[in-house]
Amino acid sequence: MSKHIFWIASFPKSGNTLLRAILSSLFFSNDGKFDFRLLKPINTFENKYRLNFIKNKNQNDFNSLHKLDILSKYWHDVQSKSNLGFEEDMGFLKTHHALVKYENKSFASENNCRGFIYIIRDPRDVVISWSHHAKISIDQSINFVTNELSATQWNESNKSILNKNTNPLVIVSSWEKNILSWTENKWDCPKLILRYEDLVYDKINSIISISEYFVKNFNFNFQNLDQKIENIVKSTNFTKLKENEKKLGFNEATNGPFFRIGKKNQWKDKLNNSQLKLIENKFKKTMVNFGYNLSEK
């Protein structure tokens, strides 16, 4: 199997879309000016149409893809270069899936991984963002973020022939398990770990780190890099993204605007003491390891 997949991975609401905006502007524009159309080459792996081929292999399995023991049998087949439709040697794929195994079947393989970038966000802010995104309470959101069995569903697609009532699962696990599954794996492929807060508040240096990563590990030659960086910073400003979503819409939005606030430390005004302690006690070691200071409450 060829090393054709470059993963853009994260727990939900951790800045994956902002990272894709930066990457798409680096790779798929001449001047670094971002617009939503540039995201098309970096789309989500878990789109239901990717499962269409299973119908010809096994009709019973195709009708049972809501069962993890059935879906997991096909994880690697779904990721084949031919099924993904990759014409180049490498293609980008977004995922929120934890890098887990189910009954000894792994979600993804070192054999087809060209590299990956993993982006992390303060779990206290993830809780708030997920609450708005999923239209659930803060306490329900905390349960989702801290639960190692948390899952979402594959994206709908008008190209899918899967029964509308069949909902395959994306195993996101907990914030910590998702992070550690990717960042502590022993795969022999280049990885880059970024923080959402740095992408927002130290964007220039973050983009430089991203470009250097691709130059060093893949010998990419970015044309007009200084100009691109300047334009990426301007065109992926959160206010600019929010304005463009309002004018043009954004197909990844659900239950309201996708780009809502985008600031760090929202949790200081939103979470009570018991909610903070629940999150921090659960994730203390990993939070500290990635530079998230614990509250004084």
Domain that holds residue 167: 5-123+148-234
CA separation for the pair 43, 20 (Å, rounded): 9
203 domain residue, yes or no: yes
β-pair partners for 7: 93, 116
Closest CA to 74 of 97, 98, 102: 102
100 domain residue, yes or no: yes
Digit-coded pLDDT (tens) for 146-179: 999 999 999 999 999 999 889 999 999 999 999 9
Instruction: Decide: 195 and 179 in contact? Cβ < 8 Å.
Output: no
Tokens of 218: 């893949």
250 domain residue, yes or no: no
182 domain residue, yes or no: yes
Confidence of residue 253 (pLDDT cuts 50, 70, 90): very low
CA separation for the pair 273, 296 (Å, rounded): 9
Structural domain count, the chain? 1
Strand 101-102 to 151-153 pairing:
unpaired
Helix (H, G, I), strand (E, B) or coil at 269: helix
37 domain residue, yes or no: yes
256 domain residue, yes or no: no
Give backbone dihedrals phi and psi of 90, rounded to 5 degrees, phi first: -140, 140
Closest CA to 227 of 26, 32, 28, 22: 32
259 domain residue, yes or no: no
pLDDT of residue 238: 74
Locus of tokens 């022993």: 186
User: CATH code at 227?
Assistant: 3.40.50
258 domain residue, yes or no: no
Answer whether residue 262 shows pLDDT above 70. Answer: no
Alpha helices in 58-195 (DSSP H): 59-62, 68-71, 75-78, 81-84, 123-134, 138-146, 175-183
Digit-coded pLDDT (tens) for 110-129: 999 999 999 999 999 999 99
Digit-coded pLDDT (tens) for 6-58: 999 999 999 998 999 999 999 999 999 988 888 889 999 999 999 999 999 99
